[in-house]
Amino acid sequence: MVDLALLQSVSYIAGALGVCVAAGYYIFNMRLTLETRRLGLIDNIVNRFLDEEGNKRYFELMNYEWTDYADFDKRYGSSNNVESASKRFAVWTNFNEIGMMLRKGFVKVDDLYVLGMAGIPFHWEKYKSIIEETRRRYNGKEYLKDMEYLATEMLKYMQSRDPSFRIPETLLNYDPNK
């Protein structure tokens, strides 16, 4: 004969097992939901930045030329060239936002690389001195820190895939005839 204590123990074990199964299902579901949201976030980044207009802004900025900060400000600064400054701020703000998402773990560097964001270290290298001088003169040392983080992490990732990869020194003085 089965006594009441045994039935009660079996009942508790079954209840605990049910709670464990439910918790496991909940965790699985939450991970799936988080991964779906992460992929949606990456899709948003790609659609917003890597569309035709985003690429035009990027390449236009990569073709800017200047000799020093004063020359850059005269040609492309917000006081003298609002259109250029607007394009630059749009790109830089996007890069900074993506860098913040990378730093906080919302996106992964390998996903960004595969989706075509490998140009970020080139852009950072081209504008590094301008951004650093802007930090010194106007915005403080935290200005575009996540853009810098993004470029640094992307460069590390690219070099981990190809240790010989370097950003060309000629980037700042690009001559299409060479």
Q: What is the pLDDT of residues 104-128, one digit of tens each?
A: 998 899 988 988 888 999 999 999 9
Q: Is the predicted pLDDT of residue 172 greater than 60, yes or no? A: no
Q: What is the DSSP string of 107-139?
A: S-HHHHHHTT-TTHHHHHHHHHHHHHHHIIIII
Whether residue 102 contacts residue 150, with contact meaning beta carbons closer than 8 Å, is answered with yes
Top mean pLDDT of 7-21, 42-56, 96-110, 164-178 is at 96-110
Beta-carbon contacts of 101 under 8 Å, excluding residues fewer than 6 positions away, are 41, 45, 107
Judge whether residue 37 has pLDDT over 90: no
Domain limits, the chain: 1-37, 50-173
The radius of gyration computed from the CA coordinates of the chain, to the nearest angstrom, equals 25
In terms of average pLDDT, the best of 41-45, 68-72, 170-174 is 68-72
Q: What is the residue-averaged pLDDT of the chain?
A: 84
152 to each of 54, 81, 157, how far by Cα in Å?
21, 29, 9
Rounded average pLDDT over 146-174: 88
The answer, yes or no, to whether residue 8 has pLDDT greater than 80, is no
DSSP state of 83: H
